[in-house]
C-alpha cells in the first residue's frame, strides 16, 4: 500500500499549502472608510482607506489581501500613537504584511492606507467597461476573491464589517454604491464628491461601486425606493425589470418575515459584465441583456429569464448578504437557495408562466449531470482562489436547489419556511454554515434533517430506488433497495457502498 500512502501524503501537503492562503486570525475588521477616485481615461484609480480593526492579541504586524495595488503611505494607530508600517508583499498568496517597529497592543487600531490601482480589462475587481457609444465607466465585481484588487482588505466572507464609501468622479458622471447618497458636493477641481451612507455589516465581496454615464427609472415597494439604471438611451427598457423587482420585493418581505434591510435597491445594467448578475447589497449589477428588454419585441422566454435572474439576486439580499456563509465551501447553500427560491415569487406573480414545470425540468437536468462519474459532491473543500471559482457550477446551483426542493416537500412548505426564518433571525448580519441551516430546520420541524442532509451534500451522485412488492393473502410486503445511479452501465453494475437517507 505504499502507493496509496504516497498519494495521501501529497494530497495532505497540497491541502496545507492551499490553506496557507487564508489570513491569520490575529485581527478582525469593524469598518472600512474607502474613497475611490477613478480616472477613466488613464484606466487607473486612487484609493484612500482607513480600516478600523480589533487586534485579538498583541502583535507587530497585520496581514491583508491585496492584488495589483501600489501602496504609497501606510500607518497604524493604536492608543493615540501612529507608526509608519513597512509593506511586504506575497504575490502568490495575494497578501501583504504591514509591519511596525513597536508591538501593537490587543484592542482597537486604525490602519490608514493611500494607494493606487488598475481599472483592469478583466471584468473583475474595479474594472473599466465601455457602452455601445464608446463611453467608459468603472464598475466593481468582487465575488469571489477580487475585492482585494480594489482595496486592501480582509477578503474572506467571515470578516464582516460596515463600509463608508465615497467616490470622487468627473462632475458629469453618476456614482452608485451599496447605500443611499448622503452628500454630493462640488470639487475638488472639475469633479464632484459623492458620499454614501454607512452600510450594514457585510462581507468584502459584497461592496460595490459603479461610476459612469447612467440614467434610471424608479418606483418603490413597501417604502423601499427601487431604481433600474442603464447607459444613456435605454432607460425605458428597464420598465419590465422595475415591475418584476417591485413584485418580488413585496413577496420576500412577507416570506422571510424580515423587511428588506438595505434602505434602497438599485439594479444596474452593464454592457461589459462577466457574470449574469451579482447580488451586491442594495446595488445589484447585471449583464444588461438580462436586465433590459424592449417589451414590444422581446420574447416571453427572455422575460422569464430576466425575471428569474432578478428574483435570484434579490433572494440573496437575505440569504447570502444578510446571512453569509463562513467560508466558500458552503457557497452552494447561498446559490442553491437563491435558485430554489427564485421561482416562488414569480409563480405567485405570473402563474401562467408555470415556473413549477421549469423546476421539474431543472431537476431532471441536474440528475443527468449527477449521473456522470466525474461529478462532485455539493460540499467541496476549497482554499485557493482557483479552487473557490470552480465551486460556481451546476452542482452548486441546480443540484443544491433540487435537494432543497426535496427537503421542503418532506417537511411541508410552512414548516420549511419557519426553519428558514429561524435561521435568518439567529444569524442576521453574521455568518453561518450549512450545519447551522440544518440545525434550524431540525429544531423547527422536529424531524432528523441534520441526519438526512449530510448524505445528500457530502457525497457525489444520486440514488436509484428499486421497489419490489409481493402479495400474500391479505397483506403486501414491500422490498426497497438503493444504489448510486451511473449512466455508465459497468459502473452502475459494479459494487458500491454509498447510501442516502431518503426523506419520505
Distance CA 345, CA 331 (A): 22
Q: 3-state DSSP call for residue 461?
A: coil
Quote the cell numbers at residue 13.
501537503
- Please work out, in degrees rounded to the nearest 5, the angle formed at the alpha carbon of residue 475 by the alpha carbons of 469 and 477: 30
Question: Are 270 and 288 spatial neighbours (Cβ–Cβ below 8 Å)?
Answer: yes
Cell 477580487 belongs to residue: 146
Cβ-count burial 386-424 (b if 16+ within 10 Å, e if not): eebeebbbebbbbbbbbbbbbbbebbeeebbbbbbbbbb
User: Phi and psi for 208 in degrees, rounded to 5?
Assistant: -150, 150
> Hey, how many other C-beta atoms are within 10 angstroms of the C-beta on 364?
11
Q: Which of 288, 313, 335, 408 is catalytic?
A: 313
Would residue 313 show up in a list of annotated catalytic residues for this protein? yes
> Hey, how many other C-beta atoms are within 10 angstroms of the C-beta on 186?
10
Beta strands in 119-205 (DSSP E): 125-130, 136-141, 162-170, 174-177, 181-186, 191-196
Q: How many CA atoms lie within 13 A of 308 on its CB side?
A: 16
Q: Sort 130 into a burial class: Cβ within 10 Å, 0-12 / 13-18 / 19+.
A: middle
Cell 459494487 belongs to residue: 495
Question: Are 97 and 61 spatial neighbours (Cβ–Cβ below 8 Å)?
Answer: yes
Question: Are 205 and 170 spatial neighbours (Cβ–Cβ below 8 Å)?
Answer: no
Which residues are bridge partners to 269 per DSSP? 286
- Please work out, in degrees rounded to the nearest 5, the angle formed at the alpha carbon of residue 290 by the alpha carbons of 394 and 133: 130
Question: Are 334 and 379 spatial neighbours (Cβ–Cβ below 8 Å)?
Answer: no
Among 381, 365, 268, which residue's Cα sits nearest to residue 331?
381
> Hey, how many other C-beta atoms are within 10 angstroms of the C-beta on 454?
15
Quote the cell numbers at residue 181.
447618497
Question: Are 118 and 47 spatial neighbours (Cβ–Cβ below 8 Å)?
Answer: no
Question: Are 154 and 204 spatial neighbours (Cβ–Cβ below 8 Å)?
Answer: yes
Residues tagged active-site: 313
Amino acid at each position: 500500500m505504499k502507493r496509496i500512502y504516497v498519494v495521501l501524503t501529497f494530497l495532505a501537503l497540497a491541502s496545507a499549502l492551499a490553506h496557507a492562503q487564508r489570513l491569520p486570525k490575529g485581527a478582525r475588521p469593524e469598518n472600512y472608510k474607502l474613497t475611490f477616485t477613478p480616472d477613466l481615461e488613464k484606466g487607473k484609480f486612487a484609493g484612500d482607506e482607513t480600516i478600523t480593526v480589533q487586534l485579538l492579541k498583541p502583535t507587530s504586524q497585520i496581514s491583508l489581501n491585496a492584488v495589483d495595488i501600489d501602496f504609497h503611505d501606510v500607518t497604524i494607530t493604536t492608543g493615540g500613537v501612529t507608526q509608519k508600517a513597512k509593506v511586504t508583499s506575497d504575490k502568490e498568496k495575494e497578501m501583504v504584511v504591514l509591519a511596525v517597529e513597536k508591538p501593537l497592543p490587543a484592542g482597537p487600531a486604525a490602519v490608514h492606507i493611500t494607494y493606487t490601482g488598475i481599472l483592469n480589462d478583466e471584468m473583475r475587481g474595479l474594472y473599466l467597461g465601455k457602452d455601445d457609444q464608446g463611453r467608459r465607466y468603472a464598475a466593481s465585481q468582487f465575488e469571489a476573491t477580487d475585492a482585494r484588487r480594489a482595496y486592501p482588505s480582509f477578503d474572506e466572507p467571515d470578516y464582516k464589517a460596515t463600509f463608508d464609501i465615497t467616490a470622487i468622479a468627473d462632475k458629469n458622471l453618476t456614482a452608485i454604491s451599496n447605500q443611499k447618497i448622503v452628500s454630493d458636493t462640488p470639487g475638488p477641481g472639475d469633479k464632484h464628491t459623492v458620499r454614501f451612507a454607512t452600510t450594514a455589516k457585510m462581507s468584502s465581496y459584497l461592496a460595490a461601486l459603479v461610476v459612469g454615464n447612467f440614467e434610471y427609472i424608479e418606483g418603490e415597494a413597501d417604502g423601499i425606493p427601487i431604481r433600474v439604471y442603464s447607459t444613456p438611451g435605454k432607460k425605458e427598457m428597464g420598465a419590465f425589470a422595475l415591475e418584476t423587482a417591485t413584485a418580488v420585493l413585496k413577496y420576500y418581505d412577507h416570506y422571510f418575515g424580515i423587511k428588506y434591510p438595505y434602505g434602497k435597491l438599485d439594479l444596474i445594467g452593464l454592457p461589459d459584465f462577466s457574470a449574469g448578475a451579482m447580488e451586491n447589497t442594495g446595488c445589484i449589477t447585471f449583464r444588461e441583456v438580462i436586465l433590459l428588454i424592449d417589451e414590444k419585441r422581446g420574447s416571453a422566454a427572455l422575460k422569464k429569464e430576466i425575471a428569474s435572474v432578478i428574483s435570484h439576486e434579490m433572494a440573496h439580499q437575505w440569504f447570502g448578504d444578510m446571512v453569509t456563509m463562513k467560508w466558500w465551501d458552503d457557497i452552494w447553500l447561498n446559490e442553491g437557495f437563491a435558485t430554489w427560491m427564485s421561482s416562488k415569487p414569480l409563480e405567485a406573480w405570473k402563474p401562467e408562466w408555470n415556473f413549477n414545470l421549469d423546476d421539474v425540468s431543472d431537476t431532471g437536468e441536474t440528475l443527468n449531470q449527477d449521473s456522470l462519474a466525474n461529478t462532485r459532491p455539493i460540499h467541496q473543500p476549497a482554499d485557493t482562489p482557483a479552487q473557490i471559482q470552480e465551486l460556481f457550477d451546476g452542482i452548486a446551483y441546480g443540484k443544491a436547489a433540487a435537494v432543497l426542493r426535496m427537503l421542503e416537500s418532506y417537511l411541508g412548505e410552512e414548516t420549511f419556511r419557519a426553519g428558514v426564518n429561524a435561521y435568518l433571525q439567529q444569524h442576521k448580519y453574521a455568518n453561518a454554515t450549512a450545519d447551522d441551516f440544518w440545525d434550524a430546520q431540525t429544531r423547527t420541524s422536529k424531524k432528523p434533517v441534520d441526519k438526512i442532509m449530510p448524505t445528500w451534500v457530502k457525497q457525489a451522485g444520486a440514488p436509484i430506488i428499486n421497489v419490489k412488492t409481493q402479495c400474500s393473502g391479505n397483506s403486501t410486503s414491500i422490498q426497497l433497495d438503493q444504489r448510486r445511479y451511473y449512466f455508465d452501465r459497468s459502473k452502475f453494475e459494479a459494487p458500491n457502498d454509498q447510501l442516502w437517507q431518503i426523506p419520505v
